[in-house]
Structure 1
Amino acid sequence: MTRLKRTMRVAGPIGMTVIGLTLAACQPAGQPLANEAAEAPAANATDTAANAMAIDNGAAAEDRAETKSIIRPDIEPAPTPTPTPEPIDLTIPFPAKGAKPDAAGAALLDTLLANPTYALGGPITIWGHSDSSGSDQSNLTASRKRAEAARDYLVQKGTAPERITVIAMGEATPIAPNRKRDGTDDPEGRDKNRRVEIKVDLPPSAAPAPAPVPAQATPTP
């Protein structure tokens, strides 16, 4: 009996080892052991939390990118500069023996009336011209009638008469030949010479200030 107990004490650890190896051999292939199966859910949970945090960080970054403006709120766009007004020069053609502007001339006068510089109220000068088909006196009279016709058109549209000065030039200042070099008549040249020239100057309040004259240095004696 004593020998049997001694034999069991010696064989106890060995038996436990054999039992453990037997259980491992009986475990199906690819099946994690008990400790591994316990650790796997924890690892998966950690990976899932990390992925969720990365997704949240990415979504937050996209939200910030969408709400961020490329224009700084403390910088306002520069205002568009107002163009500087300039005097107006306009030529109105007149038909042969015509003392009033035709449809084309009236359209040009309407364009003048719509010009922002015209609305400033500056002085207006109208020069009447003619070709050389008549006498000096008749051409002078014809040129005056044309200038007065342009003036009357502007006054009827609301222009103050005191703004307008009329000057008759007759045939004195042609812009094209009245005759060709062989002495024959030049109808195209005469058409260009029958005209009214209009200039609208800026009022004194809108005229640009003159540039200062640099002071001359006093010579050293």
Structure 2
Amino acid sequence: MKRLATTSMILGASALLTACDPPAGNAVLANDAASPENATDPMTNTAEVDEAKSILRPVEDEVTPPAPPPVEPVSLTISFADGGSKLSDEAKAALDGVIAAPAMVTGGAITLRGHSDSRGYDGDNLVASRRRAEAVADYLVEKGVPRERMTVIALGENRPVAPNAKPDGSDDPEGRARNRRVEVEVVPPPEPDSGSEADEAAPAANSAEPKPQ
């Protein structure tokens, strides 16, 4: 009787333990369901969403190149201190620099103003000032600058930049030498007026529209 009781107790304990343990198959299914590799809904897979986000890049704005600097006018004074109308080597070198300036390269208008000192007759001084301005024009033409871009103005002794005489009335050679000169001015060509073209196109477009009845 004691053996039967002991055996019954052992069998009952085994049955109780077996009932508490979940089936092995169910444990495998639970682990598989929790694994992200077996997730069927892409919205719940954060790894795939993050990867998709990393592939997309914001479109970079197009970089607009900077506008070119405006063309500046050029002013230069050519000295004829020796009293003649022949260009010195220094004067030619200065004109070569003007020829390379943007205002000259882009086709700007050129004004040449000739001057003289006050010694002698007014008419002779006017002629001398024109000869000096023409000498500058001839040199520019030799360098390939079109003559039609130039305007020659003879001013004679009317626009001095220094006194021709000292306060006591005596001659001032240095002042007269400074007055024998040619002023070179080059202005950039005018920019095309895009607004006027748009204004001209607007009436033409409006005229094509049918008038209301």
User: Under a length normalisation based on structure 1, what TM-score does the superposition of the two structures give?
Assistant: 0.54
User: Under a length normalisation based on structure 2, what TM-score does the superposition of the two structures give?
Assistant: 0.56
The correspondence for 2:76, drawn from 86, 91, 96, is 91
Evaluate the alpha carbon distance shift between residue 89 and residue 113 of structure 1 in structure 2; reply closer, same or farther with a 3 A threshold: closer
> What are the residue-to-residue correspondences of 1:112-191 with 2, within 5 Å?
115-118=104-107, 124-132=110-118, 134-137=119-122, 139-178=125-164, 185=172, 187=174
1:18 equivalent in alignment to 2:3: no
What CA deviation, in whole Å up to 9, does each residue of 1:8-48 have, x standing for no partner? 7x999755333356x69xxxxxxxx9538655544544444
* Paired residues of 1:92 and 1:108 also in contact (CA < 8 A): no
Letter in 2 for 1:105: A
Dislocated runs of 4+, deviation >6 Å: 10-13, 76-86, 201-209
Offset, 1:152: 0.4
Offset, 1:127: 1.4
What CA deviation, in whole Å up to 9, does each residue of 1:43-62 have, x standing for no partner? 54444426993222211111
Query: What is the CA–CA distance in structure 2 between the aligned matches of 1:195 and 1:45, rounded to whole Å?
Result: 100
* Paired residues of 2:104 and 2:186 also in contact (CA < 8 A): no
Q: Which has the larger radius of gyration?
A: 1
Q: How many pairs does the alignment contain?
A: 182
1:57 equivalent in alignment to 2:33: no
Letter in 2 for 1:107: D
1:193 equivalent in alignment to 2:185: no
Identity of aligned residues (%): 36
The correspondence for 1:70, drawn from 55, 60, 73, is 60
Query: What is the CA–CA distance in structure 1 between the aligned matches of 2:38 and 2:50, rounded to whole Å?
Result: 11
Query: What is the CA–CA distance in structure 1 between the aligned matches of 2:176 and 2:193, rounded to whole Å?
Result: 36
- 1:118 alignment partner, SS class: coil
User: Mean Cα displacement is larger for which, 178-187 or 93-102?
Assistant: 178-187
- 2:56 alignment partner, SS class: helix
**Unpaired segments ≥5 residues, structure 2:** 40-44, 197-213
Letter in 1 for 2:46: A
Query: What is the CA–CA distance in structure 2 between the aligned matches of 1:156 and 1:146, rounded to whole Å?
Result: 16
Evaluate the alpha carbon distance shift between residue 39 and residue 135 of structure 1 in structure 2; reply closer, same or farther with a 3 A threshold: farther
